[in-house]
Amino acid sequence: MSSQNIDNSSYENFRVFLEKECGIVLGANKQYLVKSRLTPLLGKFQVNTLDELIAKALKPTERQLRAVVIDSMTTNETLWFRDDYPFNLLQSTLFPEHAKLNRPLKIWSAASSSGQEPYSIAMSVLEYQQKNPTAFSKGVQITATDISPTMLEHCKYAHYDKLAISRGLSAERKRQFFEPGDNEMLKVTEKVKKLVNFKSLNLLDTYQHLGRFDIIFCRNVLIYFSPEIKSQIIGKFHAMLDDKGYLFLGASESMSGLSNQYKMHRCNPGIIYQKD
**Cis omega before residue 269 (within 30°)?**
yes
| φ/ψ of residue 50, rounded to 5 | -65, -35
pLDDT top residue among 254 and 187: 187
**Binning pLDDT at 50, 70 and 90, where does residue 220 land?**
confident
Residue 1 has what pLDDT? Answer: 41
Look at domain 8-74 and name its CATH class: mainly alpha
- Pairing mode, strands 241-249 and 271-275: antiparallel
Q: What is the pLDDT of residues 65-118, one digit of tens each?
A: 998 999 888 877 789 999 999 999 999 999 999 999 999 999 999 999 899 999
> Strand 105-109 and strand 213-218: pairing?
parallel
Q: How many CB atoms lie within 10 A of CB 154?
A: 21
Would you say 185 and 216 are in contact if contact means Cβ atoms under 8 Å apart? Answer: no
> Where exactly are the structural domains of the chain?
8-74, 85-275
| 65-74, 144-153, 173-182 — most confident range | 173-182
Q: What is the pTM of this model?
A: 0.88
Question: What is the overall mean pLDDT for the chain?
Answer: 92
Q: In the prediction, which pLDDT does 2 show?
A: 46
What does the pLDDT look like over 116-136, one tens digit per residue? 999 999 999 999 999 999 999
The arithmetic mean of pLDDT across residues 165-175, rounded, is: 94
The architecture (CATH level 2) of 85-275 comes to 3-Layer(aba) Sandwich (3.40)
C-alpha span between 33 and 81 (Å, rounded): 26
The 10 Å Cβ neighbour count of residue 185 is 16
Phi, psi dihedral angles at 160 (to 5 degrees): -135, 140
Q: Tell me the pLDDT band of 150, cut-offs 50, 70 and 90.
A: confident
Which band of pLDDT confidence, cut at 50, 70 and 90, is reported for residue 194? very high
